[in-house]
Amino acid sequence: MPPRLTVIGTGYLGATHAACMAELGYEVLGLDVDEAKIERLHRGEVPFFEPGLPELLARHVESGRLRFTTSYEEAGAFGDVHFICVGTPQKRGEYAADLTYVDASVRSLIPHLQPGALVVGKSTVPAGTAQRLADWIAAEGPAGAELAWNPEFLREGWAVQDTLHPDRLVIGVPHGGRGEAVLREVYAPLLDVEVPLVVTDFATAELVKVAANAFLATKISFINAMAEVCEVTGADVKRLSQALSYDTRIGGRFLHAGLGFGGGCLPKDIRAFMARAGELGVDQALSFLKEVDAINLRRRARMVDLARELAGGSFAGGVRVAVLGAAFKPNSDDVRDSPALDVAVALHQQGAHVCVYDPAANANAQRLHPQLTYSGNAREALQGAHLVLHLTEWREFRDLDPTSISDIVALKRIVDGRNALDKDRWRGAGWVYRALGRP
Ligand code: UGA
């Protein structure tokens, strides 16, 4: 009999993991404490934007292979393997990660576990968490129940693809446990097609995840630091990045200069990593991440300055700014720590009339920042604009024809915050085109 799986927490990570495990052929039960969310998933609806996921979810809800519940009792009775996929947000007013949801989900599950059940942590946690949870399970769980740590590396916007075709699998297990064998069985369809597997201890598995995100954040901030230097030397960071990318030791991915990183992962993960290093007495080892964070936030401030400069030195007096993009990146409706929204809010605070349009994130943005104006499409947002800011590089914005929108704006001025538009085309159509790190 193949193992039966539960997925605890049905956000971006959990809903995707649940649907993908059903796609691999398993019976899956998803659990969340949010009844409204479970109700929607039950009906086969994905409560957020993720390309490819709605089709996958609907197919497996329809077939009956994927079900949802709010009951830990039902989850415990059903599952042989329980994946913990709840969020670990940044604590309010602190750098450290808030482990409330991880702790609560494991605590709630323990009394209902079957003997021999495997609990698998996928949430991003500070090193040391897995051992603490394993101790709880050993002390309070049924005979033979164990913990394994299996970090997740999926990107929003590519979540289904990244789960079904991951670059690697990492499994953290204590010496002599059964977790490795169980997870080898669960992931057999991926291992059969040669997905690399690294089996390690708990602490290494926890660290792989935060180290990967810290490296990606560092790479982005590196090129954005170069952009700062480009701005005072007249150099072009896009060309610089292209030239660096041909060196295969460096590579071109995550080397796109612009408004920098945001979202629910990279910013809070580097901060939580620094906080944990401080607790462990090795804060110096990660002090460079403070600079990575600072470079990243400086890009947002620079964008506001550049926009104000283009607006003639002030936004007062009803300067109309069209903001294209609110999500932290394209193909997502996630506005957590979104650089685009941060800039939009700063401009509003400085007196601009800001009109935002995002193909997927308007509703989430509006909930967070109702003080801004939102448009249902790009043309409406651009109407009468004195300045256009391109802040999230959706394909729809890259495809905008600068000539055909020339007569709906009041002034043909654009700042390309993502270095993703064709500079020559915009300038050729008579626009003042400015970008971060480029002449
Ligand atoms: C990130 C990691 O890429 C995933 O591997 C990881 O699993 C995930 O966090 C997580 O911890 O759950 P994600 O937050 O979905 O994934 O987004 P990314 O694609 O990494 O982009 C993060 C931010 O960096 C975005 O705001 C994006 O616009 C920005 N970025 C990315 C750049 O500014 N430049 C680049 O070259 C690449």
Spell out the SS3 assignment of 222-242.
HHHHHHHHHHHHCCCHHHHHH
Is the backbone of residue 419 left (phi > 0), alpha (psi -120 to 50) or beta? left
CA distance 127 to 109: 22
C-beta 417 within 6 A of ligand 1? no
Average pLDDT over residues 375-399: 98
Nearest one of 376, 195, 214, 227 to 288, comparing CA atoms? 214
* Tokens 């990593």, located at residue: 273
Q: Which atom of ligand 1 is nearest to the CA of 418?
A: 33
User: Using a 6 Å cutoff on CB, does residue 154 contact ligand 1?
Assistant: yes
* CA distances in angstroms from 264 to 101, 156, 267, 298, 335, listed in the order given: 15, 10, 7, 19, 8
Best residue for ligand 1 mutational test, from 85, 216, 224 (most atoms within 8 Å of Cβ): 216
Please give the structure tokens belonging to residue 177.
């446990």
For ligand 1, the distance from its centroid to the CA atom of residue 208, given in whole angstroms, is: 16
Neighbour tally for 158: CB within 10 Å: 15
Q: 295: Cβ below 6 Å to ligand 1?
A: no
pTM: 0.97
| Rg (alpha carbons) of the chain, rounded to whole number | 23
Q: How far is the CA of 49 from the centre of ligand 1 (A)?
A: 16
Distance 111 CA to ligand 1 centre (A): 37
Residue 263: CB within 6 Å of ligand 1?
A: yes
Tell me the percentage of the chain whose pLDDT exceeds 90. Answer: 98
Q: Is the CB of 262 under 6 A from ligand 1?
A: yes
Q: How far, in Å, from the CA of 338 to the mean position of ligand 1?
A: 11
Question: Relative to the CA of 209, which ligand 1 atom is closest?
Answer: 11
Residue nearest atom 35 in ligand 1 by C-alpha distance? 254
- How far, in Å, is the centroid of ligand 1 from the Cα of 266? 6
pLDDT digits (tens, 9 = 90+) for 27-72: 999 999 999 999 999 999 999 999 999 999 999 999 999 999 999 9
Q: Which pLDDT tens digit goes with each residue over 191-228?
A: 999 999 999 999 999 999 999 999 999 999 999 999 99
**Residue ID of nearest Cα to ligand 1 atom 37:** 254
Q: Is 124 in the pocket of ligand 1 (CB under 6 A)?
A: yes
Phi and psi dihedrals of 266, rounded to 5?
Answer: -55, -50
CA 176 to ligand 1 center in whole angstroms: 35
Q: How far apart are CA 423 and CA 421, in angstroms?
A: 6
The residue contributing the CA closest to ligand 1 atom 18 is 155
How many other CB atoms sit within 10 Å of the CB of residue 138? 12
45: helix, strand or coil: coil
Out of 85, 230, 265, 355, the active site residue is 265
- Of 339, 328, 324, the closest CA to residue 385 belongs to 324
> Closest by alpha carbon to 387, among 363, 409, 420?
409
Count of CB atoms situated within 10 Å of the CB of 114:
17
Question: Would you place residue 98 in the very low, low, confident or very high pLDDT band (cuts 50, 70, 90)?
Answer: very high
Q: CA quadruple 19, 21, 23, 27: dihedral positive or negative? A: negative
Is residue 425 pLDDT above 90, yes or no?
Answer: yes
Closest residue by CA, ligand 1 atom 19:
155
Round to whole Å and give the CA distance between 13 and 141: 26
pLDDT surpassing 90 at residue 176 = no
* Token pair listed for 183: 């997870």
What's the mean pLDDT in 237-255? Answer: 98
What digits encode the pLDDT tens for the residues 346-355? 999 999 999 9
Ligand 1 nearest-atom number relative to CA 219: 36
Whose Cα sits closest to atom 33 in ligand 1? 260
For the CA of 392, the nearest atom of ligand 1 = 28
Q: Kindly state if the Cβ of 270 falls inside 6 Å of ligand 1.
A: no
pLDDT at 317: 85
What pLDDT score was predicted for residue 122?
Answer: 98
Which residues are CB-neighbours of 190 under 8 A, at least 6 positions away?
A: 24, 164, 165, 166, 169
Return d(Cα 218, Cα 235) in angstroms, integer: 21
Q: For residue 213, which atom of ligand 1 is closest to its CA? A: 2
187: number of Cβ within 10 Å: 18
Which contiguous run of DSSP H or E holds residue 339? helix 339-349
* Residue 318 pLDDT: 86
Structure token pair of residue 166: 């991951």
Helix (H, G, I), strand (E, B) or coil at 178: coil
Q: How many CB atoms lie within 10 A of CB 23?
A: 19
CA–CA separation, 264 and 334 (whole Å): 8
Written as one letter, the residue type at 188 is A
Closest approach atom of ligand 1 to CA 339: 26
Q: Give residue-wise pLDDT tens across range 273-329.
A: 999 999 999 999 999 999 999 999 999 999 999 999 999 999 998 899 999 999 999
Q: Which of 139, 190, 182 is nearest to 163 (CA)?
A: 190
Tokens found for residue 341: 């929204």
- Is 265 marked active-site? yes
Q: Are 418 and 396 in contact (CB under 8 A)?
A: no
Helix (H) or strand (E) holding 387: strand 387-390
How far is ligand 1, taken at its centre, from the CA of residue 329, in Å? 8
- Closest-CA residue, ligand 1 atom 25, reads 261
For residue 143, report the distance from its CA to the centre of ligand 1, in Å.
Answer: 40
Mean pLDDT (the chain, rounded): 97
Which residue, among 103, 96, 102, 89, has the nearest Cα to 264 in the 3D structure?
Answer: 89
pLDDT, one tens digit per residue, over 68-91 is 999 999 999 999 999 999 999 999
Q: Residue 9: which residues within 8 A CB-CB, separation 6 or more? A: 31, 32, 84, 85, 86, 87, 101, 105, 123
Ligand 1: nearest atom to the Cα of 157: 15
